[in-house]
A = this chain, B = another copy of it.
Amino acid sequence: MIGQEIIDRFKALLGPKGVITDPDDVAPWLTDWRGRFHGNAVAILQPISAEEVAATITLAGELGVPLVPQGGNTSMVGGATPPPDGSALILSLRRMNRIRALSADDNLAVCEAGVILATLHDAADAAERRFPLSVGAKGSATIGGLISTNAGGTQVLRHGTMRALVEGLEAVLPDGSVFHGLDALKKDNRGYDIKQLLIGAEGTLGIITAASLRLVPAIAARAVGWVGVRSPADALALLRLAEARLGDSVEAFEIIADDGLGHVLSHIPGARCPIETRTPWHVLIEVDHADLSDPGPAERLEQALAEALEDGLAMDAAIAANEAQAAAFWRIRESLSEAERAQGPALQYDISVPIARMPAFMIDAAAAAERSFPGTTASSFGHLGDGNVHFHVRAPKGTVDGPAWIAAEGQVINAFVHDAVVAAGGSISAEHGIGEMKRAELGRLASPARLHALRAIKAALDPQGLMNPGKLIPRPDEG
């Protein structure tokens, strides 16, 4: 545990508002939002500027105090929870919550790390622009955290992950130096791309304090369609057809198994199947136009879907007649996780494989899991267009004690699923990062070259190991 003397040093540096020590105020930030990772810390540090962050990091270096950076604390992998022994302090960026600038002409917003995603959405909307990345936790997740985890979501197909939307960064490196890189330069070849290195580094190489983010034109018209298909392979063929006919205007392309739809229809009040027939698989597709020119997105989507029906790729299809219907289509997709939870305990995997291999993976890996773990049912849904699905293995019917089942079976099933992903050339973390949760599995499965590079870069930039300790980098005994 960190003593009062150390806390007083940080209080002298950041002022009374800059250091939270009341246990009631600290407590909510010691556990991740899903309640899976629990830590301890005697204080939360809350600097309000890049300079204060730099001073905080410099002092922490002097005192040898590890820092755990936090934005909205919405990590899915225990990436922002302090270690249980209380040896670290939390470094919250939540007070750095200004949008420093927003230019519609330049399609650019300069946000501090603590700006909440929904706040940026609103500010962009007000300027008749759009920030095209969204996640379920948009009301809490902060820009700094979203960049540090290279967040994804359902709009990645067209606009990319956070990595593609960050045009500049301001960050404090572990030695206390400030990296001033907010100027948005489309071409800049001054050596290693420090910005790209910090994106997705989960706070282990320094603290992002602000970012220049790319905005895109507001949506002038959208069409949302629901398509019943025979198989993931047909869904992929439909995606190729949509890309050929509709080009860049395909904003989202999500695949849903019929059993997943069934769970939504059973558990979510008011949900109904958008098409008349129940087909083995379903696709949700959104087409967006930034202008009102003819033909509009609904007409173009209709044409493409007519072709798909004629070719036999689509078994049935519907296009939302209005915004309320479009929202209802999306609500099904967004309720899948909740409906699955209501169905019983499950192990959930956030994985990616090369898109061409995804249809076979979805079928084969599910069948293999069910064979290997009798009684379980496995299925997947998600961002087919990104080669990224959420793969779930549900406990045998009648399992009452979910945690006990996970404690008994979790590690073996994890290894089974991750091995299948690696065999398919994929990634054991598509969207959520590594954090604490997947650290050991990364160590077990990463190639020697990747492990060597991760550890060498970490040791070079953070030789004291004070930045988000225990996260991302496998320990020496972990591979």
Contact = CB atoms under 8 A, between A and B. Distances in A.
Interface of A: 103, 105-106, 149-150, 152, 156, 161, 163-164, 173, 175, 177-180, 183-194, 196-197, 199-202, 205, 217, 240, 244-245, 247-248, 290-291, 352-356, 383, 386-388, 425-434, 442, 446-450, 452-454, 456-457, 459-461, 472-473
A120 to B, nearest CB: 20
A245 B456 CA distance: 48
B189 A431 contact: yes
Nearest to A429: B189
Given A187-B156, A453-B173, A461-B456, A193 B192 contact: no
Contact of A193 (B105, B177, B200, B244): B200
A354 B200 contact: no
A187 B240 contact: no
Given A193-B196, A291-B247, A461-B453, A448 B187 contact: no
B430 A187 contact: yes
A419 to B, nearest CB: 15
Given A177-B449, A183-B354, A454 B188 contact: no
A152 B178 CA distance: 28
The oligomer's copy count stands at 2
B426 A183 contact: yes
A209 to B, nearest CB: 12
Contacts of A454: 191-192
Contact of A152 (B187, B245, B448): B187
A221 to B, nearest CB: 13
B461 A106 contact: no
B291 A179 contact: no
A157 to B, nearest CB: 8
A387 B200 CA distance: 26
Contacts of A460: 456-457, 459-460
B193 A163 contact: yes
Given A186-B387, A247-B290, 8 more contacts: A161-B187, A179-B447, A183-B353, A186-B388, A189-B200, A191-B434, A193-B200, A194-B450
A180 to B, nearest CB: 6
19 contacts: A150-B189, A152-B187, A173-B452, A173-B453, A177-B448, A179-B447, A185-B352, A187-B352, A187-B431, A189-B430, A189-B433, A190-B450, A191-B472, A191-B473, A192-B201, A193-B197, A197-B197, A197-B457, A217-B244
A152 B434 CA distance: 33
Contacts of A185: 352-354, 387, 426-427, 430
Nearest to A171: B449
B197 A196 contact: yes
Given A179-B449, A180-B449, A185-B426, A356 B191 contact: no
A364 B133 CA distance: 38
A245 B429 CA distance: 39
A156 B356 contact: no
Given A193-B197, A456-B460, A460-B459, A187 B450 contact: no
Contacts of A428: 190
